[in-house]
């Protein structure tokens, strides 16, 4: 991806700056991990709508999907200008970065028409109903079941966990088992679920930070219409892989990434820290990681805009982002002293370790990259022996015949 801007791109930047001069005065400030209270979410939702109306959300989305049909370079420019002013971008990064592209790739025309425009404007938030207590890194092991009834509708029962934004979401994208007689990767189907459906219950999970960013979701005889499927019955794993590819990019290059400019500003604010040779070495290490992450993210944005679906290598962005951001936050706290623990940097030190599991644990992602992208030998896997009839066990002494 070319880093030098063309005259058209320079003109785009100037138009954006003029627009932000007029509309950005009351915009919410940017945080690595956005607040979750109702008042803050309402403000962020409103700001997303303002950005979307001006064409600054989902910049590379086609016009038919509610986007402006812009270029990857323009998407990068928008992010750069919002960051330079310390302004928040679109809040619903799950919808914009993961669900929306998945609906564009696999959804029906009716689903695209119904869901994409409200999604991009922040009118309807989305969540992912994927992980379960026994299906995290091994996502194909989901046990939530969807049974089709004679009239074509579906009845869903099960539990999901670690569901971000469930408390704010209007809709969820749900992976459920629809056929238990085939291999676990083949018996899955993806559904679109209204989060206010009868029989669906959301329970918050309180974290060490005191926030409840994640939730458990319980489904007890939740009824879904026949057209709630995205893709086709039995193709849920293929749809899930598409979304997981987009998720790793969004988690890595979205709201969870510490930006280089913020790191520099934090250290520069303390004269003693900025002059310490040892801290300057750590500063250079952290800065180089964040700069490499920025350019890698820009390349992936280019590929997505060209119609490519992120592959296993996109996991590199997620791994690098969380590790580099956590290292940067810990560095700032070390440099500025214990008082920094009581501000946003300390909050991130507590919150970011949980993000290491979002979108797949580092260990799983490294295996995927090694096996599917680098061609390395696969990790040893336990293959269960063929089932055989068990010999009858002898009856315990004294048991009745």
Q: Which of 196, 189, 201 is nearest to 226 (CA)?
A: 189
Query: What does the angle CA 126 – CA 129 – CA 131 come to, to the nearest 5 degrees?
Result: 140
How far is Cα 392 from Cα 138, in angstroms, rounded to an integer?
34
CA distance 296 to 314: 9
Using alpha carbons, list the distances in angstroms from residue 294 to 91, 288, 317: 20, 10, 9
Q: Which of 247, 271, 344, 363 is catalytic?
A: 247
Contact 77, 13 (CB under 8 A): yes
Neighbours of 275 (CB within 10 A): 9
Whole-angstrom CA distances from 315 to 91, 301, 323, 364 are 22, 14, 12, 9
Give the C-alpha separation, 250 to 126, whole Å. 14
CA distance 288 to 324: 9
- Return the number of other C-beta atoms located less than 10 Å from residue 109's C-beta: 8
Cα–Cα distance for residue pair 246/58, rounded to 1 Å: 13
The 3 state secondary structure assigned to 2-24 is CCCCCHHHHHHHHHHHHHHHHHC
User: Of 70, 82, 96, 93, whose CA–CA distance to 8 is shortest?
Assistant: 70
Task: For residues 49 and 120, give the distance between their C-alpha atoms in angstroms, rounded to a whole number.
Answer: 8
Which residues are bridge partners to 216 per DSSP?
A: 203
**What kind and span of H or E run contains 218?**
strand 214-224
Q: Is 14 a catalytic residue?
A: no
Catalytic residue numbers, as ranges: 247
């Amino acid at each position: 991806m070319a880093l030098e801007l063309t005259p058209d791109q320079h003109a785009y930047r100037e138009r954006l700056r003029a627009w932000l001069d007029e509309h950005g005065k009351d915009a919410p400030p940017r945080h690595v991990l956005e607040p979750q209270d109702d008042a803050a979410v309402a403000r962020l939702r409103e700001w997303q709508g303002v950005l979307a109306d001006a064409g600054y959300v989902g910049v590379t989305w086609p016009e038919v999907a509610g986007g402006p049909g812009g270029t990857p370079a323009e998407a990068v420019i928008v992010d750069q200008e919002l960051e330079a002013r310390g302004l928040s971008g679109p809040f619903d990064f799950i919808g914009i970065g993961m669900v929306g592209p998945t609906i564009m790739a696999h959804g029906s025309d009716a689903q695209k028409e119904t869901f994409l425009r409200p999604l991009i404007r922040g009118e309807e938030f989305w969540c992912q109903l994927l992980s379960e207590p026994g299906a995290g890194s091994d996502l194909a092991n989901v046990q939530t079941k969807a049974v089709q009834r004679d009239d074509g509708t579906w009845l869903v029962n099960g539990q999901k966990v670690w569901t971000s934004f469930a408390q704010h979401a209007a809709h969820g994208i749900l992976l459920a088992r629809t056929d238990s007689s085939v291999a676990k990767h083949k018996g899955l189907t993806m559904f679109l679920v209204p989060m206010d459906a009868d029989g669906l219950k959301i329970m918050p999970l309180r974290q060490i930070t005191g926030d409840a960013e994640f939730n458990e979701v319980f489904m007890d005889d939740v009824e879904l219409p026949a057209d709630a499927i995205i893709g086709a019955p039995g193709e849920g794993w293929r749809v899930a892989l598409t979304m997981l590819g987009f998720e790793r990019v969004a988690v890595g290059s979205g709201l969870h990434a510490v930006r280089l400019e913020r790191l520099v500003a934090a250290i520069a604010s303390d004269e003693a820290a900025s002059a310490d040779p040892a801290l300057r070495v750590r500063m250079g290490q952290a800065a180089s990681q964040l700069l490499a992450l920025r350019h890698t993210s820009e390349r992936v944005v280019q590929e997505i805009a060209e119609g490519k679906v992120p592959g296993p290598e996109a996991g590199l962005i997620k791994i690098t982002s969380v590790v580099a951001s956590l290292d940067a936050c810990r560095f700032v706290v070390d440099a500025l002293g214990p008082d920094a623990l009581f501000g946003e940097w300390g909050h991130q030190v507590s919150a970011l370790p949980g993000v290491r599991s979002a979108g797949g644990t580092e260990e799983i992602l490294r295996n995927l990259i090694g096996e599917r992208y680098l061609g390395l030998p696969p990790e040893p896997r336990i293959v269960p022996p063929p089932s055989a009839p068990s010999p009858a066990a002898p009856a315990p002494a004294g048991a009745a015949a």
